[in-house]
Structures are given as structure tokens and as C-alpha cells.
Amino acid sequence: MREKGIKDQRVLDAMNKVPRHVFLDSSFLEHAYQNKAFPIGADQTISHPYTVAFQSELLQVKPNDKILEIGTGSGYQCAVLLEMGAQVYTIERQNELYKKTNLIFRKLNYRPKRYFLVMDIKVCQKMRHLILL
């Protein structure tokens, strides 16, 4: 990532700690650390490592910053932010990904502040605070 212009050492350290291969289907293991996106189910993909690094660097994360991630996907981006010391609130709408990622978080001992499954707008309407994007 450094050769692609990522300068924040905390981002680089976090990405080196997160085992990206765990977030992928076993058929992609030998390619897990290439700068490629791979399917993760529910017609979604895991982001390129550079994309995750670039986004993380742009956030200028400080320990205990609160971050809302909409679209947990594989959980890889969330894991990187957690390694950087952020308190991550993450929302997923695909039940398949929610279940898969929840198992990965437990296996790797990653604990987002909150991990929500939101499949219906009615659930959102019952929440006290809403965010419109």
C-alpha cells in the first residue's frame, strides 16, 4: 500500500494485522492479498485492499473515534477500523452477509460497538436516531 501512496502508518499497521484471507471464500485464498475485489455472496464484493486503505486514511481515524459504516459486507473494512482503535457501528442489510460476518468477527475477536441487521425500513423508523444518506 505504501508504494500506492498510503502514508498513514496506523492504516498500514492495521492492514498488516487484519488477515484478509479469513474474509474470503476458500476458493480465493491464494489470491487474498492481491489488490483485487472478490465476490463474498449476496451479489456483493470485498473491496480492493487499496480502497480500504485509501478510505481509512481519508477518515484520519483517532483512537475511540465513532464511525458509522453502512454496508458491513465482508467485515474487512470494519476490522481495519477496529484495529485502528475506532468504535465502529456497522449496519448490514443482507442476512447472508450478516451471519457470515458475525462468525468471522467472533472467530477473530473483533467487536464492533454495534452490529445491526436492517432488512426493512420499518425497523429504521423505530430507531430514535436516523441518518439520511
CA distances from 64 to 75, 86, 100 (A): 19, 5, 26
**pLDDT of amino acid 128:** 52
Q: Which residues contact 29 (CB under 8 A, 6 or more apart)?
A: 21
**pLDDT of amino acid 20:** 98
Q: Which domains does the chain have, with CATH numbers?
A: 2-126 (3.40.50.150)
**pLDDT of amino acid 115:** 80
Which residues does the annotation mark as catalytic? 47
Q: Give residue 53's pLDDT band: very low, low, confident or very high (50, 70, 90).
A: very high
Q: E strands within the chain?
A: 38-41, 44-46, 66-70, 87-92, 114-117
Strand-pairing partners, residue 44, are 41
Residue 54 clears pLDDT 70, i.e. is over it: yes
